[in-house]
Amino acid sequence: MREIIDSVFIILLSLSILALLHSYLFYPLFVYIIARLRTQKLIEYQNVQHPELPFVSIIMPVHNEEKLIEEKINSLASLAYPKDKIMWFIGSDNSTDGTNEILRSYESKGHPARFFYLATRTGKPGVVNYLYNESLNWKTNSKNHINLFTDASVMLKEDTLFQLVKYFKDERIGMVDACMLNKGIKKENISISESTYVSAEVKLKQWESKAFLNMIGPFGGCFALRSNYFEPIPSNFLVDDFFLCMSMFSKGGKAINSLDAISYETVSQEIKEEFRRKARISAGNLQNLTHFFKLWFPPFNLLAFCILSHKILRWFGPFFILLIGISLLYLDLSTGAKIYNIGLAGFICFFVFIPLLELLFKYLHIQNIITKNINYFILMNLALCKGFIDYTKGIKSNVWRPTKRY
Protein backbone atom coordinates (compact mmCIF):
# COMPACT_ATOMS: atom_id res chain seq x y z
CA MET A 1 0.00 0.00 0.00
CA ARG A 2 2.82 2.37 0.88
CA GLU A 3 4.47 1.71 -2.47
CA ILE A 4 1.23 2.66 -4.25
CA ILE A 5 0.95 5.94 -2.32
CA ASP A 6 4.61 6.69 -3.03
CA SER A 7 3.97 6.08 -6.73
CA VAL A 8 0.98 8.43 -6.70
CA PHE A 9 3.06 11.23 -5.19
CA ILE A 10 5.88 10.59 -7.65
CA ILE A 11 3.39 10.93 -10.51
CA LEU A 12 1.92 14.14 -9.02
CA LEU A 13 5.40 15.57 -8.54
CA SER A 14 6.48 14.69 -12.07
CA LEU A 15 3.33 16.01 -13.76
CA SER A 16 3.38 19.26 -11.75
CA ILE A 17 7.01 19.94 -12.64
CA LEU A 18 6.32 19.06 -16.27
CA ALA A 19 3.30 21.40 -16.41
CA LEU A 20 5.34 24.36 -15.12
CA LEU A 21 8.29 23.60 -17.38
CA HIS A 22 5.98 23.24 -20.38
CA SER A 23 4.25 26.59 -19.81
CA TYR A 24 7.35 28.63 -18.97
CA LEU A 25 10.05 26.90 -21.00
CA PHE A 26 9.10 24.13 -23.44
CA TYR A 27 6.13 25.87 -25.08
CA PRO A 28 7.93 29.22 -25.64
CA LEU A 29 10.91 27.32 -27.06
CA PHE A 30 8.65 25.26 -29.32
CA VAL A 31 6.82 28.34 -30.63
CA TYR A 32 10.10 30.20 -31.14
CA ILE A 33 11.49 27.37 -33.28
CA ILE A 34 8.31 27.13 -35.38
CA ALA A 35 8.26 30.91 -35.84
CA ARG A 36 11.84 30.80 -37.15
CA LEU A 37 11.05 27.95 -39.52
CA ARG A 38 7.74 29.13 -41.00
CA THR A 39 6.77 32.75 -40.57
CA GLN A 40 3.22 33.35 -41.82
CA LYS A 41 2.88 35.66 -44.82
CA LEU A 42 0.25 38.39 -44.51
CA ILE A 43 -1.40 40.74 -47.01
CA GLU A 44 -0.96 44.36 -45.83
CA TYR A 45 -2.01 47.89 -46.69
CA GLN A 46 1.22 49.52 -47.83
CA ASN A 47 0.68 53.09 -46.64
CA VAL A 48 -1.69 55.37 -44.77
CA GLN A 49 -2.90 56.98 -48.02
CA HIS A 50 -4.34 53.71 -49.33
CA PRO A 51 -7.90 54.46 -50.53
CA GLU A 52 -9.28 51.18 -49.15
CA LEU A 53 -8.23 51.77 -45.55
CA PRO A 54 -11.13 50.79 -43.27
CA PHE A 55 -13.11 53.07 -40.98
CA VAL A 56 -11.87 52.97 -37.37
CA SER A 57 -13.94 53.56 -34.25
CA ILE A 58 -11.71 54.26 -31.25
CA ILE A 59 -13.40 52.95 -28.12
CA MET A 60 -12.06 54.25 -24.81
CA PRO A 61 -13.79 53.83 -21.43
CA VAL A 62 -12.42 56.02 -18.63
CA HIS A 63 -12.96 56.45 -14.91
CA ASN A 64 -11.20 59.09 -12.80
CA GLU A 65 -8.33 59.65 -15.22
CA GLU A 66 -7.76 63.37 -14.70
CA LYS A 67 -3.98 62.88 -14.44
CA LEU A 68 -3.66 61.27 -17.89
CA ILE A 69 -6.70 62.14 -19.99
CA GLU A 70 -5.25 65.27 -21.63
CA GLU A 71 -2.06 63.46 -22.62
CA LYS A 72 -4.16 60.60 -23.99
CA ILE A 73 -6.40 62.86 -26.09
CA ASN A 74 -3.33 64.60 -27.49
CA SER A 75 -1.99 61.16 -28.33
CA LEU A 76 -5.18 60.32 -30.23
CA ALA A 77 -5.15 63.70 -32.00
CA SER A 78 -1.63 63.04 -33.29
CA LEU A 79 -2.52 59.75 -34.99
CA ALA A 80 -1.59 59.71 -38.66
CA TYR A 81 -4.77 58.29 -40.17
CA PRO A 82 -7.33 59.81 -42.59
CA LYS A 83 -9.62 62.04 -40.52
CA ASP A 84 -12.69 61.06 -42.50
CA LYS A 85 -12.10 57.41 -41.58
CA ILE A 86 -11.84 57.76 -37.83
CA MET A 87 -14.13 58.57 -34.91
CA TRP A 88 -13.44 58.54 -31.17
CA PHE A 89 -16.01 57.20 -28.74
CA ILE A 90 -14.99 58.13 -25.21
CA GLY A 91 -17.20 57.16 -22.29
CA SER A 92 -16.72 58.37 -18.73
CA ASP A 93 -17.97 55.77 -16.27
CA ASN A 94 -19.40 58.15 -13.67
CA SER A 95 -16.02 59.80 -13.01
CA THR A 96 -15.92 61.76 -9.76
CA ASP A 97 -12.67 63.70 -10.24
CA GLY A 98 -11.95 66.30 -12.94
CA THR A 99 -12.15 63.86 -15.87
CA ASN A 100 -15.57 65.00 -17.13
CA GLU A 101 -14.63 68.68 -17.04
CA ILE A 102 -11.49 67.98 -19.05
CA LEU A 103 -13.43 65.94 -21.61
CA ARG A 104 -16.04 68.69 -22.00
CA SER A 105 -13.27 71.19 -22.75
CA TYR A 106 -12.45 69.16 -25.86
CA GLU A 107 -16.00 68.96 -27.22
CA SER A 108 -15.69 72.19 -29.20
CA LYS A 109 -12.14 71.68 -30.49
CA GLY A 110 -13.11 69.98 -33.73
CA HIS A 111 -11.84 66.49 -33.00
CA PRO A 112 -13.63 63.54 -34.66
CA ALA A 113 -15.03 62.59 -31.29
CA ARG A 114 -18.19 61.76 -29.38
CA PHE A 115 -18.14 62.01 -25.59
CA PHE A 116 -20.52 60.20 -23.26
CA TYR A 117 -20.99 60.75 -19.54
CA LEU A 118 -22.59 57.84 -17.70
CA ALA A 119 -24.49 58.81 -14.56
CA THR A 120 -23.97 55.44 -12.82
CA ARG A 121 -21.01 53.07 -12.69
CA THR A 122 -21.35 50.14 -15.06
CA GLY A 123 -17.78 48.80 -15.12
CA LYS A 124 -15.39 48.77 -18.06
CA PRO A 125 -17.13 45.98 -20.06
CA GLY A 126 -20.45 47.80 -19.75
CA VAL A 127 -18.92 51.02 -21.08
CA VAL A 128 -17.23 49.11 -23.91
CA ASN A 129 -20.56 47.56 -24.93
CA TYR A 130 -22.25 50.96 -24.78
CA LEU A 131 -19.58 52.68 -26.89
CA TYR A 132 -19.53 49.87 -29.42
CA ASN A 133 -23.28 50.24 -29.95
CA GLU A 134 -22.83 53.99 -30.38
CA SER A 135 -20.14 53.36 -33.00
CA LEU A 136 -22.66 51.44 -35.11
CA ASN A 137 -24.55 54.70 -35.61
CA TRP A 138 -21.57 55.88 -37.65
CA LYS A 139 -20.45 52.72 -39.37
CA THR A 140 -22.25 49.41 -39.73
CA ASN A 141 -21.04 46.19 -38.20
CA SER A 142 -18.81 44.73 -40.91
CA LYS A 143 -15.35 43.33 -41.64
CA ASN A 144 -14.35 46.77 -43.00
CA HIS A 145 -15.18 48.51 -39.73
CA ILE A 146 -12.34 48.28 -37.21
CA ASN A 147 -12.63 48.94 -33.48
CA LEU A 148 -9.55 50.18 -31.65
CA PHE A 149 -9.88 49.48 -27.93
CA THR A 150 -7.55 51.55 -25.78
CA ASP A 151 -7.08 52.67 -22.18
CA ALA A 152 -6.45 56.20 -20.95
CA SER A 153 -3.12 55.12 -19.49
CA VAL A 154 -1.72 53.90 -22.83
CA MET A 155 -0.07 56.43 -25.15
CA LEU A 156 0.28 55.85 -28.89
CA LYS A 157 2.82 56.85 -31.51
CA GLU A 158 1.66 58.72 -34.61
CA ASP A 159 1.72 55.57 -36.76
CA THR A 160 0.39 53.13 -34.13
CA LEU A 161 -3.12 53.01 -35.57
CA PHE A 162 -1.96 52.40 -39.12
CA GLN A 163 0.51 49.74 -37.96
CA LEU A 164 -2.45 47.92 -36.40
CA VAL A 165 -4.95 48.44 -39.20
CA LYS A 166 -2.64 47.56 -42.11
CA TYR A 167 -2.93 43.84 -41.32
CA PHE A 168 -6.72 43.83 -41.73
CA LYS A 169 -6.24 43.77 -45.49
CA ASP A 170 -5.66 40.07 -44.86
CA GLU A 171 -9.19 38.73 -44.36
CA ARG A 172 -7.99 35.97 -42.02
CA ILE A 173 -7.02 38.50 -39.37
CA GLY A 174 -9.66 39.35 -36.76
CA MET A 175 -7.52 40.96 -34.05
CA VAL A 176 -4.19 42.82 -33.92
CA ASP A 177 -2.47 43.67 -30.65
CA ALA A 178 -0.04 46.57 -30.19
CA CYS A 179 3.48 46.17 -28.87
CA MET A 180 3.45 47.38 -25.28
CA LEU A 181 6.57 49.18 -24.06
CA ASN A 182 6.97 50.21 -20.45
CA LYS A 183 8.19 53.53 -19.16
CA GLY A 184 8.93 54.81 -15.67
CA ILE A 185 11.00 51.76 -14.72
CA LYS A 186 12.73 52.09 -11.34
CA LYS A 187 15.11 49.48 -9.99
CA GLU A 188 14.09 50.00 -6.37
CA ASN A 189 10.54 48.63 -6.75
CA ILE A 190 8.69 45.94 -8.73
CA SER A 191 8.62 47.88 -12.02
CA ILE A 192 11.75 46.24 -13.38
CA SER A 193 10.33 42.75 -12.72
CA GLU A 194 6.96 43.68 -14.24
CA SER A 195 8.72 45.11 -17.29
CA THR A 196 10.74 41.90 -17.65
CA TYR A 197 7.52 39.88 -17.60
CA VAL A 198 5.80 42.15 -20.14
CA SER A 199 8.81 42.00 -22.48
CA ALA A 200 8.80 38.19 -22.33
CA GLU A 201 5.05 38.12 -23.05
CA VAL A 202 5.51 40.43 -26.06
CA LYS A 203 8.11 38.05 -27.49
CA LEU A 204 5.93 34.98 -26.92
CA LYS A 205 2.90 36.63 -28.54
CA GLN A 206 5.03 37.69 -31.50
CA TRP A 207 6.27 34.11 -31.95
CA GLU A 208 2.69 32.80 -31.73
CA SER A 209 1.71 35.35 -34.37
CA LYS A 210 4.46 34.35 -36.76
CA ALA A 211 4.09 30.62 -36.21
CA PHE A 212 0.33 30.08 -36.09
CA LEU A 213 -1.58 33.43 -36.28
CA ASN A 214 -2.77 32.40 -32.82
CA MET A 215 -1.72 35.19 -30.46
CA ILE A 216 -3.38 34.12 -27.21
CA GLY A 217 -4.87 37.30 -25.79
CA PRO A 218 -3.94 40.97 -26.24
CA PHE A 219 -2.49 43.12 -23.48
CA GLY A 220 -5.75 45.06 -23.36
CA GLY A 221 -4.44 48.61 -23.36
CA CYS A 222 -4.37 48.92 -27.14
CA PHE A 223 -5.67 46.40 -29.66
CA ALA A 224 -7.81 46.38 -32.80
CA LEU A 225 -10.72 44.08 -33.67
CA ARG A 226 -12.94 43.71 -36.71
CA SER A 227 -16.35 45.06 -35.78
CA ASN A 228 -18.17 41.96 -37.03
CA TYR A 229 -16.23 39.83 -34.53
CA PHE A 230 -17.37 41.88 -31.54
CA GLU A 231 -19.47 40.01 -28.99
CA PRO A 232 -21.25 41.86 -26.14
CA ILE A 233 -19.26 41.29 -22.95
CA PRO A 234 -21.26 39.66 -20.13
CA SER A 235 -22.22 42.14 -17.42
CA ASN A 236 -20.15 40.56 -14.65
CA PHE A 237 -17.01 39.69 -16.65
CA LEU A 238 -13.75 41.28 -15.46
CA VAL A 239 -11.37 40.75 -18.40
CA ASP A 240 -12.97 42.15 -21.52
CA ASP A 241 -9.97 41.94 -23.86
CA PHE A 242 -9.45 38.20 -23.37
CA PHE A 243 -13.21 37.62 -23.76
CA LEU A 244 -13.18 39.45 -27.09
CA CYS A 245 -10.13 37.48 -28.24
CA MET A 246 -11.66 34.10 -27.36
CA SER A 247 -14.96 35.10 -28.93
CA MET A 248 -13.12 36.09 -32.10
CA PHE A 249 -11.32 32.73 -32.16
CA SER A 250 -14.64 30.92 -31.74
CA LYS A 251 -15.88 32.64 -34.91
CA GLY A 252 -12.87 31.55 -36.94
CA GLY A 253 -10.71 34.68 -36.81
CA LYS A 254 -6.95 34.86 -36.39
CA ALA A 255 -4.97 37.10 -34.02
CA ILE A 256 -1.49 38.59 -34.24
CA ASN A 257 0.80 41.00 -32.43
CA SER A 258 2.32 43.91 -34.35
CA LEU A 259 5.81 44.90 -33.17
CA ASP A 260 5.55 48.06 -35.27
CA ALA A 261 2.40 49.29 -33.50
CA ILE A 262 4.10 50.84 -30.48
CA SER A 263 2.20 51.86 -27.36
CA TYR A 264 3.55 53.09 -24.05
CA GLU A 265 2.33 52.60 -20.50
CA THR A 266 3.88 53.49 -17.17
CA VAL A 267 4.79 50.23 -15.50
CA SER A 268 3.43 49.34 -12.05
CA GLN A 269 5.50 50.67 -9.17
CA GLU A 270 3.77 49.29 -6.07
CA ILE A 271 3.43 45.62 -5.26
CA LYS A 272 0.00 46.11 -3.61
CA GLU A 273 -1.39 47.76 -6.73
CA GLU A 274 0.00 45.08 -9.02
CA PHE A 275 -1.16 42.28 -6.70
CA ARG A 276 -4.70 43.69 -6.76
CA ARG A 277 -4.64 44.00 -10.54
CA LYS A 278 -3.24 40.51 -11.11
CA ALA A 279 -5.80 38.96 -8.72
CA ARG A 280 -8.61 40.70 -10.58
CA ILE A 281 -7.25 39.50 -13.94
CA SER A 282 -6.91 35.98 -12.54
CA ALA A 283 -10.57 35.88 -11.49
CA GLY A 284 -11.60 37.26 -14.89
CA ASN A 285 -9.48 34.71 -16.73
CA LEU A 286 -11.21 31.90 -14.87
CA GLN A 287 -14.55 33.31 -16.03
CA ASN A 288 -13.31 33.08 -19.62
CA LEU A 289 -11.86 29.63 -18.97
CA THR A 290 -15.28 28.19 -18.18
CA HIS A 291 -17.20 30.33 -20.71
CA PHE A 292 -15.01 29.16 -23.60
CA PHE A 293 -14.43 25.63 -22.29
CA LYS A 294 -15.11 24.00 -25.67
CA LEU A 295 -12.53 26.24 -27.32
CA TRP A 296 -9.61 24.71 -25.41
CA PHE A 297 -10.77 21.30 -24.22
CA PRO A 298 -9.96 18.74 -25.34
CA PRO A 299 -6.63 20.29 -26.45
CA PHE A 300 -6.38 18.22 -29.62
CA ASN A 301 -6.19 21.05 -32.15
CA LEU A 302 -3.57 23.77 -32.56
CA LEU A 303 -5.58 26.63 -31.07
CA ALA A 304 -6.61 24.61 -28.02
CA PHE A 305 -3.00 23.49 -27.51
CA CYS A 306 -1.81 27.12 -27.59
CA ILE A 307 -4.48 28.28 -25.13
CA LEU A 308 -3.71 25.44 -22.73
CA SER A 309 0.06 25.90 -22.96
CA HIS A 310 0.25 29.68 -22.82
CA LYS A 311 -2.55 30.53 -20.44
CA ILE A 312 -4.33 27.75 -18.59
CA LEU A 313 -1.31 25.87 -17.25
CA ARG A 314 0.09 29.18 -16.05
CA TRP A 315 -3.19 30.12 -14.32
CA PHE A 316 -3.04 26.84 -12.40
CA GLY A 317 0.64 27.31 -11.61
CA PRO A 318 0.05 27.98 -7.87
CA PHE A 319 -1.61 24.58 -7.50
CA PHE A 320 1.22 22.85 -9.32
CA ILE A 321 3.68 24.57 -6.98
CA LEU A 322 1.65 23.46 -3.96
CA LEU A 323 1.56 19.88 -5.25
CA ILE A 324 5.33 19.95 -5.76
CA GLY A 325 5.88 21.09 -2.17
CA ILE A 326 3.49 18.52 -0.68
CA SER A 327 4.89 15.70 -2.82
CA LEU A 328 8.50 16.50 -1.94
CA LEU A 329 7.66 16.65 1.76
CA TYR A 330 5.82 13.33 1.70
CA LEU A 331 8.43 11.52 -0.39
CA ASP A 332 11.26 12.86 1.75
CA LEU A 333 9.56 11.59 4.92
CA SER A 334 8.40 8.33 3.33
CA THR A 335 11.48 7.24 1.41
CA GLY A 336 14.33 9.29 2.89
CA ALA A 337 15.88 9.33 -0.57
CA LYS A 338 18.56 11.97 -1.01
CA ILE A 339 17.00 13.32 -4.22
CA TYR A 340 13.81 14.26 -2.38
CA ASN A 341 15.76 15.70 0.53
CA ILE A 342 17.68 17.96 -1.84
CA GLY A 343 14.51 18.81 -3.74
CA LEU A 344 12.66 19.79 -0.58
CA ALA A 345 15.58 21.92 0.58
CA GLY A 346 15.65 23.68 -2.79
CA PHE A 347 11.88 24.22 -2.67
CA ILE A 348 12.08 25.80 0.80
CA CYS A 349 15.03 27.94 -0.25
CA PHE A 350 13.21 29.20 -3.36
CA PHE A 351 9.80 29.88 -1.84
CA VAL A 352 10.75 30.84 1.74
CA PHE A 353 14.35 31.95 2.17
CA ILE A 354 14.67 33.98 -1.04
CA PRO A 355 11.57 36.13 -0.29
CA LEU A 356 12.96 36.70 3.23
CA LEU A 357 16.31 37.60 1.70
CA GLU A 358 14.60 40.06 -0.64
CA LEU A 359 12.91 41.69 2.36
CA LEU A 360 16.33 42.04 3.98
CA PHE A 361 17.78 43.51 0.79
CA LYS A 362 14.90 45.97 0.61
CA TYR A 363 15.49 47.03 4.22
CA LEU A 364 19.21 47.52 3.49
CA HIS A 365 18.45 49.30 0.16
CA ILE A 366 20.27 46.59 -1.80
CA GLN A 367 19.05 45.95 -5.34
CA ASN A 368 19.37 42.34 -6.51
CA ILE A 369 17.53 41.55 -9.72
CA ILE A 370 17.56 37.78 -9.16
CA THR A 371 15.87 37.83 -5.74
CA LYS A 372 13.58 40.62 -6.95
CA ASN A 373 12.35 38.60 -9.93
CA ILE A 374 11.89 35.42 -7.87
CA ASN A 375 9.92 37.37 -5.27
CA TYR A 376 7.79 38.87 -8.06
CA PHE A 377 7.08 35.39 -9.48
CA ILE A 378 5.97 34.13 -6.05
CA LEU A 379 3.76 37.13 -5.33
CA MET A 380 2.09 36.94 -8.71
CA ASN A 381 1.28 33.27 -8.15
CA LEU A 382 -0.23 34.25 -4.80
CA ALA A 383 -2.31 36.79 -6.73
CA LEU A 384 -3.50 33.95 -8.98
CA CYS A 385 -4.61 32.10 -5.83
CA LYS A 386 -6.47 35.17 -4.63
CA GLY A 387 -8.18 35.43 -8.00
CA PHE A 388 -9.23 31.78 -7.83
CA ILE A 389 -10.77 32.34 -4.38
CA ASP A 390 -12.61 35.43 -5.62
CA TYR A 391 -13.90 33.47 -8.61
CA THR A 392 -15.20 30.58 -6.50
CA LYS A 393 -17.05 33.05 -4.26
CA GLY A 394 -18.86 34.39 -7.31
CA ILE A 395 -18.30 37.65 -9.17
CA LYS A 396 -21.33 39.90 -9.12
CA SER A 397 -19.81 43.20 -10.29
CA ASN A 398 -17.16 44.18 -12.82
CA VAL A 399 -16.78 47.76 -11.57
CA TRP A 400 -13.08 48.52 -11.45
CA ARG A 401 -10.73 50.96 -9.75
CA PRO A 402 -7.94 52.11 -12.09
CA THR A 403 -4.38 51.30 -11.11
CA LYS A 404 -2.66 54.15 -9.29
CA ARG A 405 -1.40 56.72 -11.78
CA TYR A 406 1.97 58.47 -11.53
**In the chain, where the domains are located:** 1-38+303-396, 55-269
The third-level CATH classification (topology) of the domain covering 55-269 is: Spore Coat Polysaccharide Biosynthesis Protein SpsA; Chain A (3.90.550)
Task: Give the pLDDT of residue 181.
Answer: 86
Distance CA 252, CA 271 (A): 38
List, for the chain, all residue ranges whose pLDDT scores fall below the cut of 50: none
- Which residue, 246, 238, 243, is CA-closest to 276? 238
- Which residue, 85, 78, 25, 33, is CA-closest to 55? 85
Task: Give the pLDDT of residue 212.
Answer: 95
- DSSP letter string over 315-344? HTHHHHHHHHHHHHHHHHHHH--HHHHHHH
Task: Give the pLDDT of residue 394.
Answer: 84
Beta bridge partners of 156: 263
Distance CA 267, CA 136 (A): 34
**Rg from Cα positions in the chain:** 23
Give every CB contact of residue 382 below 8 A, 6+ residues apart in sequence.
275, 318
